[in-house]
Structure 1
């Protein structure tokens, strides 16, 4: 009898243990998503807006981002643009812009677009919520060129203005014989990269903690000759506006006659 009772108790123990294990089965997917799985990020884009100014080549994009499995935090987004001749330019997000735009037209018929924006430091994506944002990208040319050529020139001009060493006539004479100003004027067209032809755009995403699942998205678009020429006009606009800024530095009451920059929009096709 004792052996039968012991066997019965053992069987009961096995049954209870099995029932306990079964109770955990519904929790397995939840625990997996919470502690083991990575956020699965997907991204969608329909168009790209290209421009150029003192920062070099620029691009703006409206993106729709979705995080599945769990919420995720993006640390950086990069855009690699490759021309059909293999010329490649890497862009990194700079600002997250508001979806609200205020557009106006200047005296020359150019479009002036104003958007409120914040510096792109990180972006949190809630679980299963599609987040639509407008991103501005600067090229990787900006920092090195700006730090080595443009910033030293601007710093010297600012210092001379503080010391009252410049007036309109002195500035004109200084710029005429100044190697640094010549370097700036030579640099700006060198930084211009847009030209007619076919392009490939690849979007790369890095998580703030390095833990995401993401397959790089690739798109294609084409710049026609007319659009390339319109974008190229921004070289002259950049030089003109910089000269206006220099005049304003030595004469704060001067009313700057800035020209508007031209942007061109292109539809994206997924590769």
Structure 2
């Protein structure tokens, strides 16, 4: 009888082996993320600073993963370096086909603030991601908060708000808008860096693109629009100013 008890005990212990093995496999198997950028990159500059919009396909192998950050590290034509971090992403939900032939298929899209993206095991997601320059965002937030405090102080004391134009806070924000265009003629080398919830690991993909002198001139026209947006925010005119931002697109070059 004792032998049967021993056999049953061994069989019972063996029954736990498959889930234990699967647990070890899941723990020690590391996810691999593949980054595929779209062949066209969109470059801009407005009151949000230097901007890159780029569609990405992201796939996960071996395990599911949660992406918590995507950024682009840029090396410019004059050896300058810039970092742009994701601010939002957009996905196409579905398409509507209208009876009128000239309309064709109309995509319905959803845009949201960039917080996290979950990719299932062996899954693939496609997102259009908006990247804003990190240094500009920090400086802009500080300058914006300072000028708002000064504006509120003038209003509270029943002083002429037009005095705001003579303050250091106004000059600081205006100068930031006028001097933060990082884009220059030449070739840019970039690294797309994807970070998961496990911050000890990240995944990269290299990109390269070139900007022409004409494209830079087109973006420089946005600087005046930035200043007018600032003026209209604190000294609105009878006619609401609606800026028309210039955007440029260029191809991703072969590395």
TM range (shorter): 0.7 to 0.9
Is 1:184 equivalent to 2:178 in the alignment?
Answer: no
Structure 2 unaligned regions, length at least 5: 94-108
TM-score, normalised to structure 1, is 0.74
SS class of match (2:56): strand
Counterpart contact for 1:76–1:121, Cα < 8 Å: yes
> In the alignment, which of 190, 203, 221 is matched to residue 201 of structure 1?
190
RMSD of equivalent CA atoms:
2.9
Structure with bigger gyration radius? 1
Match of 2:143?
Answer: 149
Deviation, 1:162, is 5.7
Paired position in structure 2 for 1:259: 243
SS at match of 1:216: strand
Pair 1:96-2:58 in alignment: no
Secondary structure of 2:243's counterpart equals coil
The answer as to 2:132 corresponding to 1:138 is yes
**1:5 is matched with which residue?**
none
Provide the secondary structure at the position in 2 that maps to 1:192.
Answer: coil
d(CA) in 2 for partners of 1:86, 1:208: 32
Residue 31 (structure 2) pairs with residue 39 (structure 1):
yes
Q: Which runs of structure 2 are paired with 1:115-126 in the superposition (5 Å)? A: 116-126=110-120
Structure 1 segments unaligned to the other structure (5+ residues) = 1-8, 101-114
Matched, 1:236 2:229: no
Q: With structure 2 as the length reference, what TM-score do the two structures score?
A: 0.78
Structure 1 contact 240–258 (Cα < 8 Å) conserved: no
Q: Is the 8 A contact 1:200 1:218 kept in 2?
A: yes
The Cα of 1:99 is off from its aligned counterpart by: 3.6
3-state DSSP of counterpart to 2:173: helix
Q: Secondary structure at the match of 1:218?
A: strand
Partners of 1:240 and 1:148 lie apart in 2 by: 20
Does the aligned pair in 2 maintain the 1:122–1:208 contact within 8 Å?
no
Structure 1, 227-236 or 144-153: larger mean CA deviation: 144-153
- The answer to whether the 8 Å contact 1:244/1:258 transfers is no
Conserved? CA contact 1:99–1:134, under 8 Å: no
SS in 2 for 1:157: helix
Asked if structure 2 preserves the Cα contact closer than 8 Å seen for 1:194 and 1:232, the reply is no
SS at match of 1:77: strand
Return the offset for 1:159.
4.5
Between the aligned partners of 1:211 and 1:87, the Cα distance in structure 2 is 27
Give distance in 1, aligned partners of 2:90 and 2:158: 39
Q: Quote how far apart the aligned CAs of 1:265 are.
A: 1.1
How far off its partner does 1:31 sit?
5.2
What displacement does 1:270 show? 4.2
